[in-house]
Chains A and B, each alone.
Chain A
Amino acid sequence: MGARVALSNLLDARQIWRGRAMPVPAGDQPTGWLALDAALPAGGWPDAALTEILLPVDGVGELSLLLPTLARLSQGKRAVLIVAPPYVPCVAGWQQHGVDMRRVEIVAAPPADVLWATEQCLRSGSCAAVLVWPRQADDRALRRLQVAADAGKALGFAFRDRKHLSAASPAALRLEIEAAPRARVWVRKCRGGAVPPQPFALSRSLH
């Protein structure tokens, strides 16, 4: 004991392996929100991966977060699938955000089949984005969706209640929407980068 070794010497001698995150390639799936794109390591949605969006209640801007992306995908003639939505999508409202509703398919599935249907859509490789509202989804179910999104090169979006925040999730990106006192989005987990400490404000224009 007593012999002190400078850390830099050890590192130079390559006796210590430094765990380093894999560099995340810059994806080409911008969210359409400049502040969010800047904060995320891939410069947008993690490509071919599952994104989890946690909400306090419905109607706090969760769709407006996605609508620029859905508009871009649907105008590029890519299919967007919506599995078991909690309400009926309003055509006029979606069109106001530029979504081509001819590319949006809605899948009505009983609660027991929601995860199956979502996995089929994600895995098929013909869907650009799949939105799902799973009622009962555990860690394993989400992992399956994550793997399916990777296999089918699709963007998966799972909307869940905020109470699931404390549970670990295999999703590549976790966002939490805060409604009151004002609409903000917290990044709770993002693969391949540090979690931004600041929330980003979700401006809620009506059009």
Chain B
Amino acid sequence: MLWACILLPHLALDGVLRRRANHDPLVLVDGAVNARSIVAVNASAREAGLRVGQRLIAARALLVKFEALPCDHQAADRWQRFLAAVAYRYSSEVSLLPHAIVLEVSGSLGLFGPWPRLEATLRSDFSALGFRHRIAVAPTPQAAYVLAGVEDGQAVLTPDHLHRALQSVSTRKSRLPAASIEALSGMGIRTLGQLLKLPRDGLRRRFGVELLQAIDRLLGDLPAGLDTYRPPDVFDLRVELSHEVENIAALVFPLRRMTSDLAAYLAGRDGGVQRFVLRLEHREGRLTEVPVGLLSPERGEGMLFELARGRLEQVQLPEPVLALRLIARDLPGFVPAGRDLFDERPANALPIEQLRERLRAKLGDQAVYRLGSTTDPRPERAQVVSREASTSSLLKAATVPGRSPRARLRHYAQPERNQVRSASGSGAFQPESAAVYAEPHPRPTWLLDRPIPLRGPAPRILAGPERLETGWWDGAEACRDYYVVETSLGQHAWAFCQPGEQSGWMLQGWFA
């Protein structure tokens, strides 16, 4: 067993700082209203002379202008659980300790490389998320916790070295029961090395069994007894804005943080997100919801941000925004798209799926589609719109219209057999399952949404007639003679008229 401990000494402050773009002096304060004292300071406040433990009144005397926020312990807990979800990516055994996360890494080294490499990966992950940290590794979680508190970057990889590494650790930093530590220092015992040399019987008599158990856990003689962390099934992140925001552009920065957090969480779960909601909170509990739907599960940080921003920018803010919340419940598995080794596209090509999402984000969810054919011969019902992500669904739709389980396909066609009688002979009989059915009669390349009268002088007939007589079962009966005609402008048109007549032309499409 090998445990890594990620100590988060500035959890509450980092959680606040990471969603701010500026570096103005800022402190977190805690305590009773009339005796507030500083519990955390950022870099510019420290430069100005503010220190942890100072009274807020004293700080006001030192620096005129700084921001003091109440220390939100619940928010710090939320951040800790969020970071545990991120660490869950590297180990299935993750536990929470005060201001720290421990994870069992001996099983992870085979996958993520030897400890120095895994350590660098962890550090870059946590730095990218904006959390300062100290990392240590040791054979027991408590020992890693202690070593991380003493010095950043300690690595004790075998139990034999553990004793030696703990020898010089001061008892004040040993995280043993607080009551015992005070008594021990009164007895002149200042390091763990001195403590470990003492006879166990005497220690039990003096300090009770708790201290011995704590020492045994530290050295691995007792099981660690930690509750393992389970990542939640719902991602829910709320960011309170420091002031009322009336402009969408000001929401972009917090949004970028939120989507990158979502991406980190998804990477930890090895999952993707298909649908999430951005909830803009206004005064008095009023909400604006911005749903973001994707064609297929995604987890790329940049892509999630771009799509969410595209949706957000289309929103008209009815009133100022106080807080932003991102809720993702639909978290399916993520299958990365494969790329052909011999792909001819340029190296920096944007995959077609991402292009489609980008267009949908700006132009609307219905903006990108493909067309498939049905077995219905009526031109207005011969095509279906498909917005599926995969190309195979169209083929399915074309082979079994009306029976496809995909609800997103709109079917105009009846599955019953459609009969076409053609006046030009041949008696075409449309097969039921035509994957790519070759239409023997000329079909135009453009179709009009609905037929319109063909204006101008009488057209010249090039081909036809082709009689279409169908649809008696669904109330949209059609009986028309189709011709290919040439207009006086030289356009080739697909037009129809009543059977037997060659006037009153209705334009159905163009042979463009």
Q: In the complex, what residues of A have CB within 8 A of residue B493's CB? A: 59
**CB-contact partner of A88 in B370, B391, B449, B463, under 8 A:** B449
Q: In the complex, what residues of A have CB within 8 A of residue B355's CB? A: 120-121, 124, 126-127
**CB-contact partner of A105 in B351, B368, B439, under 8 A:** B368
Cβ B510 vs Cβ A116 within 8 A: no
Instruction: Indicate whether A141 reaches chain B with its CB closer than 8 angstroms.
Output: no
Q: In the complex, what residues of B have CB within 8 A of residue A183's CB? A: 490
Known: A56-B489, A58-B446, A87-B448. Contact between A108 and B370, CB under 8 A? no
Task: Determine the interface band of chain A, counting residues with CB < 8 A from chain B.
Answer: 35 or more
Cβ B371 vs Cβ A91 within 8 A: yes
**CB-contact partner of A152 in B346, B358, B373, B436, under 8 A:** B346
Interface code A19-31, partner B: CB below 8 Å = 1, 0 otherwise?
0000000000000
A205 → chain B, closest Cβ, in Å?
Answer: 9
Instruction: Determine which residue in B355, B488, B493 has the highest number of CB atoms from chain A within 10 A of its CB, and name it.
Output: B355
- In whole angstroms, how far apart are the Cα atoms of A95 and B373 in the complex? 10
- In whole angstroms, how far apart are the Cα atoms of A86 and B491 in the complex? 15
- In whole angstroms, how far apart are the Cα atoms of A121 and B349 in the complex? 11
Chain B's closest residue to A113 (CB) is B363
Instruction: Indicate whether A153 reaches chain B with its CB closer than 8 angstroms.
Output: yes
Cβ B492 vs Cβ A96 within 8 A: no
Q: In the complex, what residues of A have CB within 8 A of residue B34's CB? A: none
Known: A79-B352, A152-B346, A152-B349. Contact between A88 and B448, CB under 8 A? yes
- In whole angstroms, how far apart are the Cα atoms of A121 and B360 in the complex? 12
**CB-contact partner of A127 in B352, B443, B488, B511, under 8 A:** B352
Q: In the complex, what residues of B have CB within 8 A of residue A103's CB? A: 391
Task: Determine the interface band of chain B, counting residues with CB < 8 A from chain A.
Answer: 35 or more
A163 → chain B, closest Cβ, in Å?
Answer: 15
Interface code B493-512, partner A: CB below 8 Å = 1, 0 otherwise?
10000000000000001111
Q: In the complex, what residues of A have CB within 8 A of residue B350's CB? A: 123-126
B320 → chain A, closest Cβ, in Å?
Answer: 28
Instruction: Indicate whether B382 reaches chain A with its CB closer than 8 angstroms.
Output: yes
Instruction: Indicate whether A90 reaches chain B with its CB closer than 8 angstroms.
Output: yes
A180 → chain B, closest Cβ, in Å?
Answer: 4
Instruction: Indicate whether B366 reaches chain A with its CB closer than 8 angstroms.
Output: yes
Chain A's closest residue to B462 (CB) is A206
Q: In the complex, what residues of B have CB within 8 A of residue A61's CB? A: 492, 511-512
- In whole angstroms, how far apart are the Cα atoms of A89 and B436 in the complex? 16
Known: A94-B445, A96-B443. Contact between A107 and B367, CB under 8 A? yes
Instruction: Indicate whether B102 reaches chain A with its CB closer than 8 angstroms.
Output: no
Cβ B446 vs Cβ A125 within 8 A: no
Cβ B369 vs Cβ A105 within 8 A: yes
Instruction: Indicate whether A18 reaches chain B with its CB closer than 8 angstroms.
Output: no
Known: A61-B492, A92-B443. Contact between A125 and B348, CB under 8 A? yes
**CB-contact partner of A59 in B367, B391, B438, B510, under 8 A:** B510
Cβ B362 vs Cβ A113 within 8 A: yes
The segment from A3-11, A32-40, A62-70, A191-199 that touches chain B is A62-70
Instruction: Indicate whether A106 reaches chain B with its CB closer than 8 angstroms.
Output: yes
- In whole angstroms, how far apart are the Cα atoms of A110 and B362 in the complex? 11
Chain A's closest residue to B507 (CB) is A59
Interface code A72-110, partner B: CB below 8 Å = 1, 0 otherwise?
000000010000011111111111110001111111111
Q: For residues 151 through 207 of chain A, which have their beta carbon under 8 Å from a beta carbon of chain B?
A: 152-153, 179-183, 204, 206-207
- In whole angstroms, how far apart are the Cα atoms of A101 and B442 in the complex? 17
Cβ A106 vs Cβ B445 within 8 A: no
Q: In the complex, what residues of B have CB within 8 A of residue A153's CB? A: 345-346
Cβ B373 vs Cβ A92 within 8 A: yes
Q: In the complex, what residues of A have CB within 8 A of residue B356's CB? A: 105
Cβ B512 vs Cβ A88 within 8 A: no
Instruction: Indicate whether A137 reaches chain B with its CB closer than 8 angstroms.
Output: no
- In whole angstroms, how far apart are the Cα atoms of A86 and B358 in the complex? 22
- In whole angstroms, how far apart are the Cα atoms of A26 and B72 in the complex? 68
Cβ B491 vs Cβ A59 within 8 A: yes
Q: In the complex, what residues of B have CB within 8 A of residue A181's CB? A: 490
A128 → chain B, closest Cβ, in Å?
Answer: 9
Cβ B447 vs Cβ A89 within 8 A: yes
Known: A63-B445, A106-B369. Contact between A124 and B349, CB under 8 A? yes
Cβ B490 vs Cβ A96 within 8 A: no
A78 → chain B, closest Cβ, in Å?
Answer: 8
B511 → chain A, closest Cβ, in Å?
Answer: 7
B482 → chain A, closest Cβ, in Å?
Answer: 12
Cβ B349 vs Cβ A91 within 8 A: no
Q: In the complex, what residues of B have CB within 8 A of residue A90's CB? A: 379, 383, 443-447, 509
Listed by A's residue number, 12 A-B pairs whose Cβ atoms lie within 8 Å are A59-B446, A59-B493, A61-B492, A88-B447, A91-B373, A93-B446, A93-B447, A101-B370, A104-B370, A110-B363, A125-B348, A206-B492
